[in-house]
Amino acid sequence: MPSLYAITIPVFIQKLHSLDHLLAKAIASGLDEQDLFEARLAPDMFPLSRQVQIACDTAKLAATRLAQIEPRAMADEEKSLTELRERIAKTIAYLEEADPAAFEGRETAEITLEFPNMKMTFSGQSLVTDFTLPNFYFHLTIAYALLRMKGVSIGKMDFLAGAQAPG
């Protein structure tokens, strides 16, 4: 069975590169950046900017919780697609600092997440498989859908392959 490190950190890094690639294509599209930045699928859903922030935070917090490493605060102050790309780069740099050995034996560790209205307790393994990866991919997919909806010329290979995608 792959280690918790193997199923999180390299996956997050690769998919964050994909997200960066999507934003680069959005910037190059010539479409109104503020319209893209504020795009929502529904009035009660977060805009693109928040989808990117949460995807980054989900990856970053997984490393923090699983490897018990020092958290790195990132204020949600981005005002442009370029600043969102900078946040992605900072998140990737943080993830690249994670020591694979720090994840060893954390599969059965009890990890409790506290939210304003509830607590959720997981094993390290279930945190990854039942919460972190689904949450990460949810926000990544919503960001992709928002950019597509607004007319950015991206496709499935941009989502899957990121910087390796054609065009």
Q: What is the pLDDT of residue 71?
A: 87
Identify the CATH number of the domain defined by range 4-164. Answer: 1.20.120.450
User: Tokens for 38?
Assistant: 């504020």
Average pLDDT over the chain, rounded to whole? Answer: 94
Q: Which two tokens stand for residue 60?
A: 């970053």
Q: What is the DSSP string of 131-165?
A: IIHHHHHHHHHHHHHHHHHTT----HHHHHHGGGS
**Mean per-residue pLDDT, 90-113:** 96
pLDDT, mean of residues 43-62: 97
Q: Is 46 exposed, middle or buried (CB count within 10 Å of its CB: 0-12, 13-18, 19+)? A: middle
pLDDT at position 164 is 57
Asked if residue 167 has pLDDT above 50, the reply is: no
DSSP string over 24-69: HHHHHTTS-HHHHHT--SSTTS--HHHHHHHHHHHHHHHHHHHHTP
pLDDT tens figures, 16-48: 999 999 999 999 999 999 999 999 999 999 999
Closest CA to 68 of 42, 23, 43, 104: 104
Tens digits of residue pLDDT in 79-88: 999 999 999 9
For 99, the token pair is 């020591």
- Domain residue spans in the chain? 4-164
Task: Report pLDDT for 48.
Answer: 98
